[in-house]
Structures are given as C-alpha cells and as structure tokens.
C-alpha cells in the first residue's frame, strides 16, 4: 500500500506540474496577444485617414471657390470698366458672370456640406481615440497582472520540478518504468479504489483483489491495468 500511495503522490505531483506548465503556456500566449490593441489602433488609423481625406477635399473646394471669386471679379471689372461698349461682348460677359456665380454657389454648398461631414468625422475620430486610450489602459493592466501571474507560475514550476526530481529517487527502476508506461498510455497510472470500484474504469473489484492491494502488493486493475491505490 505504501508503494501505491507514493506512486499516486508521484502522479499527483506530475499532474500538478503539467497543469502549471499549461498555465504558463496560456499566460505567455496572452502576453503576446495584442490583437485587441492592434484592432483599436487600426480603427483609429482608418478614421484618421477618412478625416484627412475630408480635410483635403474641403481645402480643394475652398481653393475652387477662391479661384471662382477671382474670375468673377475679373469679369465684373471688365463689365463695369467702361472699356467695352459692344452689346454682344457685354452680354457674353454678363452670361459668363452668371455661370461663374452659379458654379461658385454650387462649390460653396459642397463646402458647407463638407464642413458638416468634417465635423462628424472629427467627432468620430475623437471618440475612437478615447476608446483606444481605454483599450490601451486595460491592455497594460492585463499585461502587468499576467506578467505577475506568469512569474508566480514559473516559480511554482521550478519548485515542483525540484520536488519531482527528489521524489523520483525513492522508486526502483522497474516500478518507475511500469508507472511511466501506464502514464503514457493511460494518462493516469494510478487509480483510487472507491466503494470497491476502480475509479479509472469503474470495474467492480473482487474482495480478493482489494485484499491484495490492502496488503501492500502492487496490484493492477484487471480492467484498465492501472495500479490500484486504497486510502
């Protein structure tokens, strides 16, 4: 019973170590994952690009309006300078002024719409920036917490490795070989006996098998071949 008990303890120690190694792997993956932060940064970059496009478009409209103003002023000077007396030329200039002013009105209307759109994009950009700040703060907080958790886990892993190394020296190579073979094939090499049943496979054990295990003999379950352990 003592050997089975120690093999069960060895198994629990190995399982605990495996659990901590898996936890360390998960924490490393979490620490390397900055996808949420990158996504928030990409959303801001896209919003900023749209804002810049609108700013460029608005400046172009303002430039067009200024050019049209200059042309309209030139036409007005020609109309009212008194240098032109030909009715047809005056009519053409007057018509040109109307066309230019209509076009300027159209451009100015587009500019007003563009200013409204620019304001919307700026507001959206500011909101996205605020969200990015919040996401970055949460990410940094998570990084700190998970880094601390990883350090504690790694410390526990070293402790368990040392305990395991010391624990392995207690066993004969033949017993250890059987244990390791069962661990590889079954996952758990040692199974507790509970209410007369093998916990590993559920087989109902005979009184003779239970008696042998209780007597200290290394007994394997006839159903799953795991080593039987009685508390």
Tens digit of each residue's pLDDT (9 = 90 or more) over 182-211? 999 999 999 999 999 999 999 999 998 888
The CATH 1.10.287 portion of the chain extends over 34-168
Closest CA to 231 of 192, 195, 173, 176: 192
Check residue 1 and give its pLDDT: 52
pLDDT of residue 98: 94
- The edge-to-edge listing of strands for the beta sheet with 227-229 is 197-198, 190-194, 227-229
**Residue ranges for the chain with pLDDT beneath 50:** none
Do residues 201 and 221 lie in contact, with contact meaning Cβ atoms separated by under 8 Å?
A: yes
Residue 63 has φ and ψ, to the nearest 5°, of -65, -40
Q: What predicted TM-score, i.e. pTM, was given to this entire model?
A: 0.75
In whole angstroms, what is the distance from residue 154 CA to residue 24 CA?
Answer: 7
Q: What is the pLDDT of residue 109?
A: 96
- Does domain 34-168 match CATH 1.10.287? yes
Q: What is the pLDDT of residue 137?
A: 97
Share of the chain above pLDDT 70, in %: 99
State how beta strands 190-194 and 227-229 pair.
Answer: parallel
- CB neighbours (10 Å) of residue 158? 11
């Amino acid at each position: 019973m003592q050997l089975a008990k120690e093999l069960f303890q060895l198994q629990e120690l190995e399982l605990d170590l495996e659990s901590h190694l898996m936890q360390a792997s998960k924490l490393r993956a979490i620490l390397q994952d900055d996808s949420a932060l990158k996504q928030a940064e990409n959303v801001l970059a896209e919003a900023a690009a749209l804002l810049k496009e609108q700013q460029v478009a608005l400046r172009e409209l303002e430039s067009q309006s200024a050019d049209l103003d200059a042309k309209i002023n030139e036409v007005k000077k020609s109309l009212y300078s008194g240098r032109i007396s030909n009715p047809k030329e005056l009519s053409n200039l007057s018509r040109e002024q109307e066309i230019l002013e209509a076009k300027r009105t159209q451009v100015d209307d587009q500019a007003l719409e563009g200013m409204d759109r620019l304001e919307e994009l700026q507001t959206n950009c500011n909101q996205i920036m605020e969200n990015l700040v919040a996401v970055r703060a949460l990410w940094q907080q998570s990084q700190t917490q998970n880094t601390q958790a990883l350090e504690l886990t790694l410390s526990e892993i070293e402790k368990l490795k040392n305990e395991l190394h010391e624990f392995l020296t207690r066993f004969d190579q033949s017993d250890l070989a059987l244990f390791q073979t069962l661990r590889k094939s079954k996952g758990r090499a040692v199974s507790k006996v509970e209410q007369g049943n093998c916990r590993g496979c559920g087989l109902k054990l005979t009184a003779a098998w239970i008696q042998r295990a209780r007597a200290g003999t290394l007994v394997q379950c006839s159903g799953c071949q795991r080593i039987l352990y009685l508390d």
